Structure 1
Protein backbone atom coordinates (compact mmCIF):
# COMPACT_ATOMS: atom_id res chain seq x y z
CA UNK A 1 0.00 0.00 0.00
CA UNK A 2 1.52 3.28 -0.95
CA UNK A 3 -0.14 5.70 1.47
CA UNK A 4 2.08 7.53 3.90
CA UNK A 5 1.30 7.97 7.55
CA UNK A 6 3.14 8.68 10.80
CA UNK A 7 2.34 6.60 13.82
CA UNK A 8 3.83 6.64 17.27
CA UNK A 9 5.32 3.82 19.31
CA UNK A 10 3.58 2.53 22.39
CA UNK A 11 5.42 2.94 25.68
CA UNK A 12 5.60 -0.83 26.03
CA UNK A 13 7.01 -1.51 22.60
CA UNK A 14 10.57 -0.38 23.25
CA UNK A 15 12.59 0.27 20.15
CA UNK A 16 10.45 -0.83 17.26
CA UNK A 17 11.68 -1.19 13.72
CA UNK A 18 8.89 0.28 11.69
CA UNK A 19 8.67 -0.28 8.00
CA UNK A 20 8.53 3.45 7.30
CA UNK A 21 11.64 5.47 6.90
CA UNK A 22 12.08 8.20 9.49
CA UNK A 23 10.53 11.47 8.44
CA UNK A 24 11.44 14.93 9.60
CA UNK A 25 9.32 15.53 12.67
CA UNK A 26 8.29 18.64 14.51
CA UNK A 27 10.00 19.03 17.92
CA UNK A 28 7.02 17.49 19.74
CA UNK A 29 6.21 14.86 17.11
CA UNK A 30 7.89 11.46 16.93
CA UNK A 31 7.81 8.86 14.21
CA UNK A 32 7.39 5.14 14.72
CA UNK A 33 11.03 4.13 14.48
CA UNK A 34 12.09 5.20 17.98
CA UNK A 35 10.56 5.17 21.45
CA UNK A 36 10.28 8.44 23.33
CA UNK A 37 8.83 8.16 26.84
CA UNK A 38 7.86 11.84 26.90
CA UNK A 39 5.26 11.37 24.16
CA UNK A 40 3.56 8.01 24.58
CA UNK A 41 0.87 7.29 22.06
CA UNK A 42 -0.65 4.07 20.81
CA UNK A 43 1.19 2.36 18.00
CA UNK A 44 -1.67 1.08 15.92
CA UNK A 45 0.50 0.48 12.88
CA UNK A 46 0.61 -3.28 13.16
CA UNK A 47 -2.95 -3.68 14.37
CA UNK A 48 -3.92 -4.71 10.83
CA UNK A 49 -7.27 -3.00 11.05
CA UNK A 50 -5.53 0.25 11.81
CA UNK A 51 -5.94 1.68 8.33
CA UNK A 52 -9.64 2.23 8.91
CA UNK A 53 -10.68 -1.09 7.43
CA UNK A 54 -11.08 -4.73 8.24
CA UNK A 55 -8.43 -7.40 7.93
CA UNK A 56 -10.20 -8.55 4.75
CA UNK A 57 -10.00 -5.03 3.31
CA UNK A 58 -6.33 -4.71 4.21
CA UNK A 59 -5.62 -8.11 2.65
CA UNK A 60 -7.51 -7.19 -0.50
CA UNK A 61 -5.60 -3.94 -0.80
CA UNK A 62 -2.23 -5.66 -0.26
CA UNK A 63 -3.10 -8.38 -2.78
CA UNK A 64 -4.21 -5.86 -5.40
CA UNK A 65 -0.98 -3.92 -4.85
CA UNK A 66 1.02 -7.13 -5.35
CA UNK A 67 -1.05 -8.06 -8.39
CA UNK A 68 -0.38 -4.65 -9.95
CA UNK A 69 3.35 -5.20 -9.74
CA UNK A 70 3.24 -8.80 -10.92
CA UNK A 71 0.85 -8.04 -13.78
CA UNK A 72 3.23 -5.51 -15.34
CA UNK A 73 6.23 -7.84 -15.45
CA UNK A 74 4.11 -10.84 -16.33
CA UNK A 75 2.60 -9.07 -19.34
CA UNK A 76 5.96 -7.81 -20.62
CA UNK A 77 7.53 -11.26 -20.21
CA UNK A 78 4.64 -13.03 -21.94
CA UNK A 79 4.60 -10.50 -24.77
CA UNK A 80 8.35 -10.84 -25.35
CA UNK A 81 8.29 -14.65 -25.12
CA UNK A 82 5.31 -15.07 -27.45
CA UNK A 83 6.61 -12.47 -29.91
CA UNK A 84 10.02 -14.16 -30.10
CA UNK A 85 8.45 -17.60 -30.39
CA UNK A 86 10.12 -18.90 -27.23
CA UNK A 87 8.94 -22.23 -25.89
CA UNK A 88 6.29 -22.03 -23.13
CA UNK A 89 8.74 -22.77 -20.30
CA UNK A 90 11.17 -20.06 -21.39
CA UNK A 91 8.26 -17.62 -21.81
CA UNK A 92 6.95 -18.40 -18.33
CA UNK A 93 10.44 -18.13 -16.83
CA UNK A 94 10.88 -14.70 -18.42
CA UNK A 95 7.40 -13.60 -17.30
CA UNK A 96 8.09 -14.80 -13.76
CA UNK A 97 11.48 -13.06 -13.56
CA UNK A 98 9.99 -9.79 -14.81
CA UNK A 99 6.97 -10.27 -12.51
CA UNK A 100 9.33 -10.48 -9.53
CA UNK A 101 11.31 -7.46 -10.72
CA UNK A 102 8.25 -5.26 -11.18
CA UNK A 103 6.55 -6.62 -8.04
CA UNK A 104 9.57 -5.83 -5.86
CA UNK A 105 9.99 -2.41 -7.49
CA UNK A 106 6.37 -1.47 -6.86
CA UNK A 107 6.73 -2.54 -3.24
CA UNK A 108 10.09 -0.83 -2.73
CA UNK A 109 9.38 2.48 -4.43
CA UNK A 110 7.03 3.98 -1.78
CA UNK A 111 9.54 3.15 0.97
CA UNK A 112 12.45 4.62 -0.98
CA UNK A 113 10.35 7.69 -1.74
CA UNK A 114 9.84 8.14 2.00
CA UNK A 115 13.61 8.24 2.48
CA UNK A 116 14.63 4.62 3.02
CA UNK A 117 17.67 3.31 1.20
CA UNK A 118 17.02 0.56 -1.35
CA UNK A 119 18.80 -2.07 0.78
CA UNK A 120 16.90 -1.19 3.95
CA UNK A 121 13.61 -1.13 2.06
CA UNK A 122 14.35 -4.55 0.57
CA UNK A 123 15.17 -5.99 4.01
CA UNK A 124 11.85 -4.64 5.25
CA UNK A 125 9.68 -6.36 2.68
CA UNK A 126 11.61 -9.13 0.94
CA UNK A 127 10.17 -12.14 2.79
CA UNK A 128 6.50 -11.19 2.59
CA UNK A 129 6.78 -10.01 -0.99
CA UNK A 130 8.74 -13.07 -2.07
CA UNK A 131 6.13 -15.46 -0.69
CA UNK A 132 3.24 -13.43 -2.10
CA UNK A 133 4.79 -12.99 -5.54
CA UNK A 134 5.79 -16.67 -5.74
CA UNK A 135 2.23 -17.85 -5.11
CA UNK A 136 0.79 -15.25 -7.46
CA UNK A 137 3.24 -16.01 -10.28
CA UNK A 138 2.69 -19.74 -9.96
CA UNK A 139 -1.09 -19.34 -10.21
CA UNK A 140 -0.84 -16.89 -13.11
CA UNK A 141 1.56 -19.03 -15.12
CA UNK A 142 -0.33 -22.23 -14.36
CA UNK A 143 -3.55 -20.65 -15.61
CA UNK A 144 -1.99 -19.01 -18.66
CA UNK A 145 -0.24 -22.25 -19.61
CA UNK A 146 -3.43 -24.33 -19.36
CA UNK A 147 -5.52 -21.78 -21.24
CA UNK A 148 -2.86 -21.66 -23.95
CA UNK A 149 -1.84 -18.01 -23.73
CA UNK A 150 1.87 -18.83 -23.60
CA UNK A 151 1.58 -20.92 -26.76
CA UNK A 152 -0.35 -18.33 -28.76
CA UNK A 153 1.05 -17.54 -32.19
CA UNK A 154 1.30 -13.82 -31.44
CA UNK A 155 0.17 -11.24 -28.93
CA UNK A 156 -2.65 -10.38 -31.34
CA UNK A 157 -4.18 -13.84 -30.96
CA UNK A 158 -7.31 -13.97 -28.76
CA UNK A 159 -5.79 -16.94 -26.93
CA UNK A 160 -2.97 -14.69 -25.63
CA UNK A 161 -5.41 -12.14 -24.21
CA UNK A 162 -7.80 -14.74 -22.80
CA UNK A 163 -4.90 -16.46 -21.04
CA UNK A 164 -3.69 -13.18 -19.54
CA UNK A 165 -7.22 -12.09 -18.59
CA UNK A 166 -7.82 -15.35 -16.71
CA UNK A 167 -4.35 -15.38 -15.15
CA UNK A 168 -4.94 -12.10 -13.30
CA UNK A 169 -7.92 -13.22 -11.19
CA UNK A 170 -6.24 -16.62 -10.66
CA UNK A 171 -3.20 -14.85 -9.20
CA UNK A 172 -5.39 -12.71 -6.97
CA UNK A 173 -7.45 -15.64 -5.68
CA UNK A 174 -4.36 -17.74 -4.96
CA UNK A 175 -2.44 -14.94 -3.22
CA UNK A 176 -5.29 -13.48 -1.14
CA UNK A 177 -5.28 -16.14 1.63
CA UNK A 178 -1.49 -16.17 1.63
CA UNK A 179 -1.40 -12.39 2.09
CA UNK A 180 -4.02 -12.65 4.86
CA UNK A 181 -1.77 -15.15 6.66
CA UNK A 182 1.36 -13.04 6.08
CA UNK A 183 -0.33 -9.87 7.34
CA UNK A 184 -1.87 -11.64 10.34
CA UNK A 185 1.57 -12.80 11.43
CA UNK A 186 3.26 -9.48 10.59
CA UNK A 187 5.50 -11.18 8.01
CA UNK A 188 4.18 -8.82 5.36
CA UNK A 189 3.93 -5.17 6.32
CA UNK A 190 0.77 -3.26 5.43
CA UNK A 191 2.61 0.02 4.99
CA UNK A 192 3.80 -0.14 1.41
Structure 2
Protein backbone atom coordinates (compact mmCIF):
# COMPACT_ATOMS: atom_id res chain seq x y z
CA UNK A 1 0.00 0.00 0.00
CA UNK A 2 1.29 3.42 -0.95
CA UNK A 3 0.60 6.74 0.75
CA UNK A 4 1.49 9.93 -1.08
CA UNK A 5 0.54 13.56 -1.25
CA UNK A 6 -2.51 14.44 -3.28
CA UNK A 7 -1.91 15.67 -6.81
CA UNK A 8 -4.35 16.54 -9.56
CA UNK A 9 -5.44 13.86 -11.97
CA UNK A 10 -4.93 14.50 -15.70
CA UNK A 11 -7.96 15.96 -17.43
CA UNK A 12 -7.40 14.51 -20.87
CA UNK A 13 -5.12 12.80 -23.37
CA UNK A 14 -3.09 9.66 -22.96
CA UNK A 15 -2.37 10.45 -19.31
CA UNK A 16 -6.07 10.28 -18.44
CA UNK A 17 -6.45 7.08 -20.46
CA UNK A 18 -3.54 5.58 -18.50
CA UNK A 19 -5.20 6.42 -15.19
CA UNK A 20 -8.48 4.96 -16.45
CA UNK A 21 -6.69 1.78 -17.54
CA UNK A 22 -5.07 1.41 -14.12
CA UNK A 23 -8.40 1.96 -12.36
CA UNK A 24 -10.11 -0.55 -14.64
CA UNK A 25 -7.50 -3.22 -14.02
CA UNK A 26 -7.89 -2.70 -10.27
CA UNK A 27 -11.66 -3.09 -10.59
CA UNK A 28 -11.30 -6.03 -12.96
CA UNK A 29 -9.37 -7.96 -10.31
CA UNK A 30 -12.28 -7.98 -7.89
CA UNK A 31 -14.78 -8.65 -10.66
CA UNK A 32 -12.76 -11.58 -11.98
CA UNK A 33 -12.44 -13.17 -8.54
CA UNK A 34 -16.17 -12.90 -7.91
CA UNK A 35 -17.21 -13.86 -11.44
CA UNK A 36 -15.01 -16.96 -11.59
CA UNK A 37 -16.05 -18.06 -8.10
CA UNK A 38 -19.72 -17.50 -8.90
CA UNK A 39 -19.55 -19.36 -12.21
CA UNK A 40 -17.73 -22.26 -10.55
CA UNK A 41 -20.25 -22.46 -7.70
CA UNK A 42 -23.26 -22.13 -10.01
CA UNK A 43 -21.97 -24.66 -12.52
CA UNK A 44 -20.85 -27.20 -9.90
CA UNK A 45 -24.15 -26.91 -8.05
CA UNK A 46 -26.20 -27.24 -11.22
CA UNK A 47 -27.89 -23.84 -10.89
CA UNK A 48 -29.95 -22.45 -13.74
CA UNK A 49 -28.37 -19.85 -16.03
CA UNK A 50 -30.17 -17.08 -14.13
CA UNK A 51 -29.06 -18.46 -10.77
CA UNK A 52 -25.45 -18.75 -11.88
CA UNK A 53 -25.46 -15.22 -13.26
CA UNK A 54 -27.03 -13.88 -10.06
CA UNK A 55 -24.44 -15.39 -7.74
CA UNK A 56 -21.62 -14.33 -10.07
CA UNK A 57 -22.81 -10.70 -10.14
CA UNK A 58 -23.26 -10.64 -6.37
CA UNK A 59 -19.76 -11.96 -5.70
CA UNK A 60 -18.22 -9.66 -8.31
CA UNK A 61 -19.64 -6.59 -6.56
CA UNK A 62 -18.58 -7.96 -3.16
CA UNK A 63 -14.97 -8.57 -4.12
CA UNK A 64 -14.78 -5.39 -6.18
CA UNK A 65 -15.83 -3.26 -3.23
CA UNK A 66 -13.65 -5.32 -0.88
CA UNK A 67 -10.42 -4.72 -2.84
CA UNK A 68 -11.08 -0.98 -2.82
CA UNK A 69 -12.02 -0.90 0.86
CA UNK A 70 -9.10 -2.84 2.35
CA UNK A 71 -6.36 -0.26 1.55
CA UNK A 72 -8.59 2.57 2.76
CA UNK A 73 -9.31 0.80 6.04
CA UNK A 74 -5.61 0.01 6.50
CA UNK A 75 -4.89 3.66 5.75
CA UNK A 76 -6.87 4.68 8.82
CA UNK A 77 -10.24 5.65 7.37
CA UNK A 78 -13.35 4.66 9.30
CA UNK A 79 -15.74 2.13 7.78
CA UNK A 80 -18.44 4.79 7.63
CA UNK A 81 -16.18 6.84 5.36
CA UNK A 82 -14.92 3.90 3.30
CA UNK A 83 -18.33 2.53 2.27
CA UNK A 84 -19.50 5.61 0.31
CA UNK A 85 -16.05 5.96 -1.28
CA UNK A 86 -16.10 2.35 -2.49
CA UNK A 87 -19.65 2.69 -3.78
CA UNK A 88 -18.88 5.91 -5.66
CA UNK A 89 -15.59 4.55 -7.03
CA UNK A 90 -16.60 1.12 -8.28
CA UNK A 91 -20.34 0.77 -8.82
CA UNK A 92 -20.66 1.91 -12.44
CA UNK A 93 -17.40 0.22 -13.44
CA UNK A 94 -18.39 -3.12 -11.91
CA UNK A 95 -21.90 -2.87 -13.33
CA UNK A 96 -20.50 -2.29 -16.82
CA UNK A 97 -18.17 -5.26 -16.55
CA UNK A 98 -20.88 -7.55 -15.21
CA UNK A 99 -23.37 -6.69 -17.93
CA UNK A 100 -20.81 -7.27 -20.69
CA UNK A 101 -19.26 -10.35 -19.09
CA UNK A 102 -22.54 -12.17 -18.54
CA UNK A 103 -23.93 -11.19 -21.94
CA UNK A 104 -20.88 -12.76 -23.56
CA UNK A 105 -21.20 -15.92 -21.46
CA UNK A 106 -24.89 -16.30 -22.32
CA UNK A 107 -24.27 -15.51 -26.00
CA UNK A 108 -21.55 -18.12 -26.52
CA UNK A 109 -23.30 -21.38 -27.49
CA UNK A 110 -22.78 -24.03 -24.83
CA UNK A 111 -20.73 -21.84 -22.47
CA UNK A 112 -23.26 -21.83 -19.63
CA UNK A 113 -23.95 -25.54 -20.01
CA UNK A 114 -20.26 -26.55 -20.15
CA UNK A 115 -18.79 -28.32 -17.16
CA UNK A 116 -15.84 -27.17 -15.06
CA UNK A 117 -13.65 -29.69 -16.86
CA UNK A 118 -14.60 -28.32 -20.28
CA UNK A 119 -12.14 -25.97 -21.96
CA UNK A 120 -15.10 -24.11 -23.51
CA UNK A 121 -16.22 -22.99 -20.04
CA UNK A 122 -12.83 -21.52 -19.12
CA UNK A 123 -12.17 -20.12 -22.58
CA UNK A 124 -15.53 -18.36 -22.71
CA UNK A 125 -15.11 -16.97 -19.19
CA UNK A 126 -11.58 -15.74 -19.92
CA UNK A 127 -12.69 -14.04 -23.12
CA UNK A 128 -15.76 -12.51 -21.46
CA UNK A 129 -13.73 -10.99 -18.60
CA UNK A 130 -11.14 -9.51 -20.96
CA UNK A 131 -13.81 -7.96 -23.18
CA UNK A 132 -15.67 -6.62 -20.13
CA UNK A 133 -12.51 -4.92 -18.91
CA UNK A 134 -11.90 -3.32 -22.30
CA UNK A 135 -15.44 -1.94 -22.43
CA UNK A 136 -15.09 -0.49 -18.91
CA UNK A 137 -12.00 1.59 -19.77
CA UNK A 138 -13.87 4.43 -21.54
CA UNK A 139 -16.50 4.35 -18.78
CA UNK A 140 -13.85 4.89 -16.11
CA UNK A 141 -12.13 7.52 -18.24
CA UNK A 142 -15.39 9.45 -18.51
CA UNK A 143 -15.95 9.22 -14.75
CA UNK A 144 -12.43 10.28 -13.77
CA UNK A 145 -12.49 13.25 -16.12
CA UNK A 146 -15.52 14.49 -14.17
CA UNK A 147 -14.02 13.89 -10.75
CA UNK A 148 -16.01 10.71 -10.15
CA UNK A 149 -15.24 7.00 -10.09
CA UNK A 150 -11.63 6.28 -9.21
CA UNK A 151 -11.04 10.00 -8.70
CA UNK A 152 -12.93 9.68 -5.40
CA UNK A 153 -10.37 7.17 -4.10
CA UNK A 154 -7.51 9.24 -5.50
CA UNK A 155 -8.55 12.23 -3.39
CA UNK A 156 -7.91 10.21 -0.22
CA UNK A 157 -4.21 9.91 -1.09
CA UNK A 158 -4.36 6.19 -0.25
CA UNK A 159 -3.67 3.63 -2.94
CA UNK A 160 -3.19 -0.11 -2.87
CA UNK A 161 -4.13 -3.39 -4.44
CA UNK A 162 -2.59 -5.66 -7.06
CA UNK A 163 -0.08 -4.36 -9.57
CA UNK A 164 -1.83 -3.05 -12.72
CA UNK A 165 0.99 -4.47 -14.84
CA UNK A 166 0.49 -7.96 -13.45
CA UNK A 167 -3.29 -7.76 -13.86
CA UNK A 168 -2.87 -6.35 -17.36
CA UNK A 169 -0.57 -9.20 -18.34
CA UNK A 170 -3.04 -11.75 -16.98
CA UNK A 171 -5.88 -10.05 -18.87
CA UNK A 172 -3.89 -10.23 -22.10
CA UNK A 173 -3.24 -13.94 -21.55
CA UNK A 174 -6.93 -14.49 -20.78
CA UNK A 175 -7.94 -12.71 -23.99
CA UNK A 176 -5.51 -14.75 -26.09
CA UNK A 177 -6.59 -18.03 -24.48
CA UNK A 178 -10.29 -17.26 -24.71
CA UNK A 179 -10.03 -16.12 -28.33
CA UNK A 180 -8.14 -19.28 -29.29
CA UNK A 181 -10.75 -21.50 -27.63
CA UNK A 182 -13.71 -19.73 -29.26
CA UNK A 183 -12.08 -19.68 -32.70
CA UNK A 184 -11.29 -23.40 -32.44
CA UNK A 185 -14.87 -24.08 -31.34
CA UNK A 186 -16.26 -22.04 -34.23
CA UNK A 187 -14.05 -23.78 -36.79
CA UNK A 188 -15.04 -27.16 -35.42
CA UNK A 189 -18.71 -26.24 -35.69
CA UNK A 190 -18.27 -25.03 -39.29
CA UNK A 191 -17.34 -28.48 -40.58
CA UNK A 192 -20.68 -29.83 -41.93
CA UNK A 193 -19.17 -33.04 -43.21
CA UNK A 194 -18.09 -33.98 -39.74
CA UNK A 195 -20.82 -32.26 -37.70
CA UNK A 196 -23.09 -35.28 -37.45
CA UNK A 197 -20.18 -37.60 -36.86
CA UNK A 198 -18.88 -35.30 -34.06
CA UNK A 199 -22.30 -35.18 -32.37
CA UNK A 200 -22.63 -38.93 -32.61
CA UNK A 201 -19.22 -39.43 -31.09
CA UNK A 202 -20.20 -37.24 -28.14
CA UNK A 203 -23.44 -39.15 -27.55
CA UNK A 204 -21.80 -42.52 -28.11
CA UNK A 205 -24.07 -43.36 -31.02
CA UNK A 206 -21.40 -43.23 -33.72
CA UNK A 207 -19.82 -46.38 -35.13
CA UNK A 208 -17.08 -46.47 -37.73
CA UNK A 209 -18.28 -47.54 -41.17
CA UNK A 210 -17.79 -51.19 -41.93
CA UNK A 211 -15.30 -52.14 -44.62
CA UNK A 212 -16.63 -54.70 -47.14
CA UNK A 213 -14.74 -57.94 -47.10
CA UNK A 214 -12.56 -58.46 -50.16
TM-score between the two structures when normalised by the length of structure 1: 0.73
- Is this contact kept in 2: 1:55–1:180, CA < 8 A? yes
Corresponding position of 2:5: 6
Question: Once the 2 structures are TM-superposed, how far is the Cα of residue 127 of structure 1 from its aligned partner?
Answer: 2.3
Are residues 1:181 and 2:142 paired? yes
Gaps of 5+ in 1: 8-43
Q: List structure 1 runs of 4+ shifted beyond 3 angstroms.
A: none
Q: CA RMSD in A?
A: 1.7
CA distance in 2, matches of 1:112, 1:151: 40
Question: Once the 2 structures are TM-superposed, how far is the Cα of residue 128 of structure 1 from its aligned partner?
Answer: 3.1
Equivalent residue for 2:38, pick from 77, 87, 91: 77
Question: Once the 2 structures are TM-superposed, how far is the Cα of residue 62 of structure 1 from its aligned partner?
Answer: 0.2
- Is this contact kept in 2: 1:145–1:151, CA < 8 A? no
- Is this contact kept in 2: 1:128–1:182, CA < 8 A? no
TM-score between the two structures when normalised by the length of structure 2: 0.66
Range that drifts further, 122-131 or 112-121:
122-131
Are residues 1:61 and 2:22 paired? yes
Equivalent residue for 1:124, pick from 55, 66, 85: 85
- Is this contact kept in 1: 2:23–2:150, CA < 8 A? no
Higher relative contact order (CA 8 A, sep 6+): 2
Structure having the larger proportion of residues in helix: 2
CA distance in 1, matches of 2:145, 2:67: 22
Q: Matches of residues 4-43 of structure 1 in structure 2 within 5 Å? A: 4-7=3-6
Equivalent residue for 2:113, pick from 130, 133, 151: 151
- Is this contact kept in 2: 1:145–1:163, CA < 8 A? no
- Is this contact kept in 1: 2:30–2:63, CA < 8 A? yes
Corresponding position of 2:10: 49
Aligned to 2:22, the other structure's residue is in SS state helix
CA distance in 2, matches of 1:80, 1:155: 10
CA distance in 1, matches of 2:94, 2:119: 26
CA distance in 1, matches of 2:74, 2:18: 25
- Is this contact kept in 1: 2:42–2:51, CA < 8 A? yes
Aligned length: 150
Gaps of 5+ in 2: 160-214
CA distance in 1, matches of 2:127, 2:150: 28
